[in-house]
Chains A and B, each alone.
Chain A
Amino acid sequence: MSKGGGEQTRRAFLAAAAALPFSALISGCRRAPSAEDAAEELPEVRMPPPPVRGAGRHAGARLLYYAESVGIGAAIDRALARRFARDTGALVDVVPRPRDATETYASYLRLFQARSADVDVLSLDVVWPGIFAPHLLDLGAALGGLAATHLEAAIENDTVHGRLVAMPYFTDFGMLYYRSDLLPKYGYGAPPATWDELEEMARTIQGGERAQSRSFTGFVWQGKAYEGLTCNALEWIHSYGGGAILKDREPTVENPRAAQALARFHRFVGTISPIGVTGYEEEDARNVFQGGNAAFMRNWPYAFAAGNAKGSRIEGRFDVAPLPHEPGYESSATLGGWTLGVSKYSRFPDAAIALVGYLCSPEVQRFRALVGGYIPTIPAVQSDPDVARVLPFLERVRGATLVARPSNQAGARYNEVSIAFYQGVSKALYGTNPEKALEQIARRIRRSLR
């Protein structure tokens, strides 16, 4: 029997091995993503890119630019690179960065670890300048004048130990979406200014609407334990006067105001917010709101265009306002978006800096807003009449204070700080005592920054 068993084992193994390629074949039917990307038709850019001014000639320089990977953003980046090449004589290779931000982050880590001269200009998430600062050139001398015209919060975010290591490319911020048809229906003339008002309105509207739609909910936001929760909770705590996580590399979260903010949002879960909100990302919240199932939503500006798209259930029935705050404190919006930096290992630093200067110029910011809906980081461009027509929400949220995540203080340890923060906030949302959760956050952050 033992011999037969052995033979049996081998045959079973062979049969199993034969079954494997079969399954591989089926999954192989999906086209490889890289081939798909290469073949992908990029949307058409409807406007000619603006000319390059005052960048000089850079014939002979060859730049590699890690740019946006998909859609209109990728098409715009390519059109701008071509224009820059035509006007300055520099060659620009536009390489789409990995679609996923974490992937991009990992590939930058490797590039910089190897001190690679293969890349010159990089698109950086707004929280990365602090992390990658040691590997980025100081743009202050060449682009300081241009930087002064950009949003102060954005420039502060990109300034690490006095060095301007990146330039803001476009910005993003949290805002409050509300149903402009439902508020008047329940007798409210204006969107809520304070959290108390929001809570009261949400409760009333939810109570009334549930008569027709059982799944209607008051307020949706991003409560899953991920970077998005850091953005959300920073807004709550800051709008309570509870600080911005770090000050001078010291955690500031252990304060009663921050604890009150967390206690309020813990109370929201299962009352005016769905019980599942602690698992929500941006798209989960948007699906609920856009499906007509919520009165309020905290989200980024992209949801504005999506909500007004053809076929949306709430087309023309919603509007935006600054996020609520506690009386006496500021409405706060976490700063998002992307920036551009120049690698310290670049062989053509002058041409690379000139490219960044062009891409962050007011003309290009205006162009990108009109063609792709990207939010300019230059206030003067934001109030340009054409831009205001394309991005009507800009004017309505002007009252909010932009708050940067503490990435330029935490530097290479930013991710650790953020993970400690959102995991602690997540615990508080699940019922851990807020003071205790904040104390844990502070302890973990101190350990990371020691």
Chain B
Amino acid sequence: MSMTTGEAEKQEEVAGIRARRRARVAWVFLSPALIVTAFVALYPLCDTLYLSLTNTRLGSEEPARFVGLSNYVELAHDGFFLDALLLTVLFAVITVMLELGLGLGIALLLDTRFKGRGAVRAAMLVPWAIPTAVSTQMWKWMYNDVYGVFNDVLVNRLGLVSEPIAFVADPRTSLLAAVLVDVWKTTPFVALLLLAGLQLIPRELYEAARVDGATPLQAFTRITLPLLRPALLVALVFRTLDALRVFDVFYVMFGSRPDMQTLATYAHEILVSISDVGYGSAVSTAIFLVIAVFIVIYVALFQRREA
């Protein structure tokens, strides 16, 4: 208590030196990770950003020039891009909602104890383990209007419809066809993520709730959902990111059909088939920005609730 100002200053100074030294050590330890991140993430990103400001073209005889924002101006008037943007966002919203809903249901089921739970959990991952291009091709054959199993059941076995439905080709069912493949493939992933979250919730909380007379529904809304929020956020972010970058399903199923392009298939078309690296980089940067907007919204939403 009877510390002189000099001593206090000295102590503060020592603490300051220690803190600085610790910070320095921290930077040393962090630097490999930072360097790697800069190399594999920041550099490609900046390079793409730079390329999007040029008219670079692979295989072109003339050298690339800096063209400012003209690629972005073109992008804003590009009907194909705007259609792709709309379709991709629509696809992302629908699939993420379905996958989170179904995934949560499955996770809750798997969280209860029953015989053969381990086997069910392993089997659930099968769709997730098949490469998307392969499973999409498989689904495409099942969707086929002449020899596909769906139409066989609908037309010949059940007689629900008189004419076969061309799920892939018919514009009214095309999006549904793609959504189903994605939901089939990724719901297990979401379910597993949420299951991990569920198992972190202390069982005592439920016991206490039961003692206090809470109904199962109340226990779900008051205990499960709030405590599952971090896992939900992880699943939401992962799935939204993946859905906004969706490529394989649409590429295999629809090729370059003008009304069924996603941002990623459009970027691929421009970058690879047309080799217009400048404009393609602008499309890629736009994808990055769209994803960033979604992430910012999510984080803001969840932080506000948390506070």
The 9 A-B pairs of least Cβ separation, nearest first, read: A276-B166, A276-B145, A15-B196, A226-B255, A279-B169, A12-B230, A279-B168, A225-B257, A9-B230
Q: A2-B307, A102-B272, A419-B273 are in contact. Are A275 and B145 (CB under 8 A)?
A: yes
Query: A26 near B147 (CB under 8 angstroms)?
Result: no
A118 on interface, CB distance cutoff 8 Å: no
Binary per-residue interface labels of chain B (48-72) against chain A in the complex, 1 for a CB within 8 Å, 0 otherwise: 0000000001111100000000000
Tell me, in angstroms, the Cα distance from A287 to B156 when the chains sit together. 19
Query: A23 near B129 (CB under 8 angstroms)?
Result: yes
Q: How far is the CB of A334 from chain B (nearest CB, A)?
A: 17
The residues of B that contact A8 with a CB separation of less than 8 Å are: 200, 227, 230
Looking at the complex, which one of B155, B200, B269 makes contact with A15 (CB distance below 8 Å)?
B200
A423 on interface, CB distance cutoff 8 Å: yes
Query: B256 near A19 (CB under 8 angstroms)?
Result: no
What is the chain B residue whose CB lies nearest that of A293? B146
Residue among A29, A30, A278 having the largest count of chain B Cβ atoms under 10 Å? A278
Query: B200 near A423 (CB under 8 angstroms)?
Result: no
Tell me, in angstroms, the Cα distance from A11 to B227 when the chains sit together. 11
Q: A23-B128, A23-B129, A225-B255 are in contact. Are A16 and B146 (CB under 8 A)?
A: no
A217 on interface, CB distance cutoff 8 Å: yes
Query: A19 near B59 (CB under 8 angstroms)?
Result: no
Q: How far is the CB of A108 from chain B (nearest CB, A)?
A: 9
B278 on interface, CB distance cutoff 8 Å: no
Query: A419 near B146 (CB under 8 angstroms)?
Result: no
The residues of B that contact A281 with a CB separation of less than 8 Å are: 255
Considering only residues 122-167 of chain B, those with a C-beta below 8 Å from chain A are 125, 128-129, 131, 140-141, 143-147, 151-152, 155-156, 163-167
By secondary structure, the A interface counts as helix
Query: B196 near A132 (CB under 8 angstroms)?
Result: no
Tell me, in angstroms, the Cα distance from A48 to B277 when the chains sit together. 46
The residues of B that contact A23 with a CB separation of less than 8 Å are: 125, 128-129, 189, 192
Tell me, in angstroms, the Cα distance from A11 to B163 when the chains sit together. 53
Q: How far is the CB of A129 from chain B (nearest CB, A)?
A: 13
The residues of A that contact B58 with a CB separation of less than 8 Å are: 109-110, 113
A363 on interface, CB distance cutoff 8 Å: no
Tell me, in angstroms, the Cα distance from A95 to B168 when the chains sit together. 37
Q: A12-B231, A288-B146, A412-B59 are in contact. Are A224 and B272 (CB under 8 A)?
A: no
The residues of A that contact B141 with a CB separation of less than 8 Å are: 284, 287
Residue among A15, A105, A276, A419 having the largest count of chain B Cβ atoms under 10 Å? A276
Tell me, in angstroms, the Cα distance from A220 to B169 when the chains sit together. 14
* A–B pairs, 8, beta carbons within 8 Å: A16-B234, A215-B146, A225-B256, A225-B257, A275-B169, A276-B170, A412-B57, A415-B275
The residues of A that contact B272 with a CB separation of less than 8 Å are: 102, 105-106
Tell me, in angstroms, the Cα distance from A26 to B256 when the chains sit together. 32
Q: How far is the CB of B121 from chain A (nearest CB, A)?
A: 10
Query: A214 near B156 (CB under 8 angstroms)?
Result: yes
The residues of B that contact A257 with a CB separation of less than 8 Å are: none
B274 on interface, CB distance cutoff 8 Å: yes
Tell me, in angstroms, the Cα distance from A223 to B255 when the chains sit together. 11
Query: B144 near A12 (CB under 8 angstroms)?
Result: no
Residues of chain B at interface, number, CB under 8 A? 56
Looking at the complex, which one of A29, A113, A224, A288 makes contact with B59 (CB distance below 8 Å)?
A113
Q: How far is the CB of A6 from chain B (nearest CB, A)?
A: 9
B193 on interface, CB distance cutoff 8 Å: yes
Binary per-residue interface labels of chain A (130-148) against chain B in the complex, 1 for a CB within 8 Å, 0 otherwise: 0110110000000000000
A338 on interface, CB distance cutoff 8 Å: no
What is the chain A residue whose CB lies nearest that of B228? A12
What is the chain A residue whose CB lies nearest that of B276? A416
Considering only residues 143-187 of chain A, those with a C-beta below 8 Å from chain B are none
Query: A279 near B166 (CB under 8 angstroms)?
Result: yes
A291 on interface, CB distance cutoff 8 Å: yes
Query: A288 near B234 (CB under 8 angstroms)?
Result: no
Query: A419 near B254 (CB under 8 angstroms)?
Result: no
Query: B196 near A277 (CB under 8 angstroms)?
Result: no
Q: How far is the CB of A338 from chain B (nearest CB, A)?
A: 19
Binary per-residue interface labels of chain A (191-230) against chain B in the complex, 1 for a CB within 8 Å, 0 otherwise: 0000000000000000000000011010010011110000
A430 on interface, CB distance cutoff 8 Å: yes
What is the chain B residue whose CB lies nearest that of A1? B306
A18 on interface, CB distance cutoff 8 Å: yes
A318 on interface, CB distance cutoff 8 Å: no
Looking at the complex, which one of B61, B151, B192, B193 makes contact with A215 (CB distance below 8 Å)?
B151
Tell me, in angstroms, the Cα distance from A426 to B131 when the chains sit together. 28
Considering only residues 243-273 of chain B, those with a C-beta below 8 Å from chain A are 253-259, 269, 272-273
Tell me, in angstroms, the Cα distance from A129 to B229 when the chains sit together. 57
Tell me, in angstroms, the Cα distance from A371 to B160 when the chains sit together. 50
Q: How far is the CB of B280 from chain A (nearest CB, A)?
A: 12
The residues of B that contact A215 with a CB separation of less than 8 Å are: 145-147, 151-152, 155, 164
Binary per-residue interface labels of chain B (161-187) against chain A in the complex, 1 for a CB within 8 Å, 0 otherwise: 001111111110000000000000000
Tell me, in angstroms, the Cα distance from A51 to B193 when the chains sit together. 63
A357 on interface, CB distance cutoff 8 Å: no
Query: B274 near A415 (CB under 8 angstroms)?
Result: yes
Residue among A15, A131, A134, A223 having the largest count of chain B Cβ atoms under 10 Å? A15
Query: B258 near A5 (CB under 8 angstroms)?
Result: no
